[in-house]
Amino acid sequence: MFDRQKKGDRALLVLPHSRGEGDAVRRGEEFAELVKSAGAEILGVIPARVEAPNPRFYIGTGKTDEVAEMARAVEADVVLVDHLLTPVQERNLEKHLGVRVVDRAGLILDIFAQRARSHEGKLEVELAQLKHIATRLVRGWTHLDAQRGGAIGNRGPGETQLETDRRLLGERVKQLTRRLEKVQTQRGQQRRARLRNTVPRVALVGYTNAGKSTLFNALTTGGVYAADQLFATLDPTVRKVDDLSCGPAVIADTVGFIRDLPHDLVAAFRGTLAEARDADLLLHVCDAADEDRERLRQVVDGVLEEIDAGDLPQLQVMNKIDLAGSEPHIVRDGEGRPTQVWLSAATGAGLALLREALGELLGGERLQSALSLPLSAGRLHARLKAAGAIVGERIDEDGWHLDIDAPRSVIAPLSGGLDADAVLLRDLLERTALPVE
């Protein structure tokens, strides 16, 4: 066995593919972008055709020898394989090549570990990494075979270092899970507060590097980091948007999706992705200049299904029309509802059309009427104001006299509960002939 090096950023890439695989070139380019996002230097690329995976190495033995020879020639620190490897395959490759081997899942986890900034994001990444590592603690590390005990003061049941590491890792996973559940409970309380305020919720989703963060910054004053690289941002950011015809809404920028996203990572990021799962509308951002955009859209829809968000209403945003040579426009269905908006988040072309479409989809029929509230209904007044339903008001000894102008979807939920505010609102709406659902 060899000793694993602590760090290495000189990488040799292995790109497995099968006969007739139409997107092999695209997959290779995407993997190279992932490697660059991880901060590694690419020393060489070796394609490897795989029709029947080798249970020992995944790639064939002859190709494994070729990789070993090139790794020595270019003095690579790490070999990165664009496929999910079993722990046995990864361990066998490391032993045969004499350098670290990292598969696609390990590479993505490494990028996430570098990019996570929030407390929740760091917990999610560490949990996913530990679950990934747990399957690889099988005699691949030379120091793990030593028995404890034997020396004075160190005698014991003879637990191996491997068993100790497994036990400690399991305890850390339990600890992280408890901490993450606490953080997610707090985030859930914040989401419920937004629900109580009846503010419509919109979540940006899409394949990584489709321009979600750039669009988010264009619609809000979020100031989210945006760059032409995969997984430029990970942590969800939520901002309020006030300039929509339906009234205020909140928009969340979520992590980008990618093919073969590690299952442990999807599971760990369920808390973060809850911003998408709990949304009233998903803005599915696509790269209009990408010829492969339909397949990438299917990848995103697959992840949405996995997090139980596949049935949510979507509005497709075809971004980067400045690169695609298209003009800004809205595509509508047979009933006139917006289904697509073509725009450029970078130049701002078409953003007004997106705001128009959001207003239509989130607003619906508008309710306009006068409404009077007693001074004792201060909480209801505050909720109506927070929802952007009040366009004018005056106050006297009898209470507030309000001018209401808001979508039906904003007013109706306020009258749907059993609390005093909801009862009061229903009574007032009936007396003022303001229709509610």
Same domain? For 105 and 167 the reply is no
Would you state the pLDDT for residue 330?
Answer: 95
Q: Which of 363, 382, 410 is the last residue of a domain?
A: 363
Q: Does any domain span residue 163?
A: yes
DSSP SS3 for 382: helix
Would you state the pLDDT for residue 30?
Answer: 85
Quickly list DSSP for 21-87: -TTHHHHHHHHHHHHHHTTPEEEEEEEEE-SS-BTTTBS-HHHHHHHHHHHHHHT-SEEEESSPPPH
Structure tokens at 6: 């602590």
Same domain? For 265 and 408 the reply is no
Q: Which of 183, 217, 237 is the last residue of a domain?
A: 183
**Could you list the residue range(s) of the whole structural domain that residue 55 is in?**
10-112
Structure tokens at 405: 């102008």
Same domain? For 267 and 146 the reply is no
DSSP SS3 for 239: strand
Structure tokens at 427: 């009574």
Would you state the pLDDT for residue 145?
Answer: 44
Q: Does any domain span residue 4?
A: no
Instruction: Provide the CB-side half-sphere exposure for 208 (13 A, CA).
Output: 24
DSSP SS3 for 409: helix
Same domain? For 396 and 301 the reply is no
Same domain? For 230 and 343 the reply is yes
Q: Does any domain span residue 194?
A: no
Q: Which of 89, 112, 135 is the last residue of a domain?
A: 112
Written as one letter, the residue type at 319 is: N
Would you state the pLDDT for residue 125?
Answer: 74
Q: Does any domain span residue 136?
A: yes
Same domain? For 412 and 344 the reply is no
Cβ density class 33-56: b for 16+ within 10 Å, e for less: bbbebbebeebebbebebeebeee
The CATH number of whichever domain residue 18 belongs to comes to 3.40.50.11060
DSSP lists the bridge partners of residue 151 as none
Q: What is the pLDDT along the chain (437 residues), one digit of tens a residue?
A: 444 444 458 999 999 988 766 677 888 888 888 888 888 899 999 999 888 899 999 999 999 999 999 999 999 999 999 998 888 999 999 999 999 999 988 888 888 777 666 676 677 777 777 877 776 765 444 444 444 444 444 434 445 566 666 777 778 878 877 887 777 676 666 655 555 455 778 889 888 888 888 898 888 875 555 555 555 555 567 888 888 877 778 888 877 777 777 666 666 566 556 667 778 889 999 999 988 889 889 888 888 887 777 888 899 999 999 999 999 999 998 888 899 999 999 999 999 999 999 988 887 666 677 888 888 888 888 888 877 778 889 999 888 888 887 766 666 666 666 666 677 666 655 655 444 44
Q: Does any domain span residue 408?
A: yes
**Cα 295 to Cα 287: distance, rounded to the nearest angstrom:** 12
CA torsion, points 361, 364, 370, 374, in degrees to nearest 10? -60
Same domain? For 378 and 358 the reply is no
Same domain? For 244 and 130 the reply is no
Same domain? For 308 and 402 the reply is no
The CATH number of whichever domain residue 384 belongs to comes to 3.30.70
**Cα 358 to Cα 354: distance, rounded to the nearest angstrom:** 6
DSSP lists the bridge partners of residue 407 as 366
Whether the model clears a pTM of 0.75, i.e. scores above it, the answer is no
Same domain? For 341 and 212 the reply is yes
Q: DSSP E strands: which ranges in 88-226?
A: 100-103, 201-206
Would you state the pLDDT for residue 344?
Answer: 95
Would you state the pLDDT for residue 17?
Answer: 87
Q: Does any domain span residue 1?
A: no
Q: For the chain, what is the domain count? A: 4
The CATH number of whichever domain residue 280 belongs to comes to 3.40.50.300
The strands making up 100-103's β-sheet, listed across from edge to edge, are 41-49, 10-17, 78-81, 100-103
Q: Does any domain span residue 2?
A: no
**Cα 156 to Cα 177: distance, rounded to the nearest angstrom:** 30
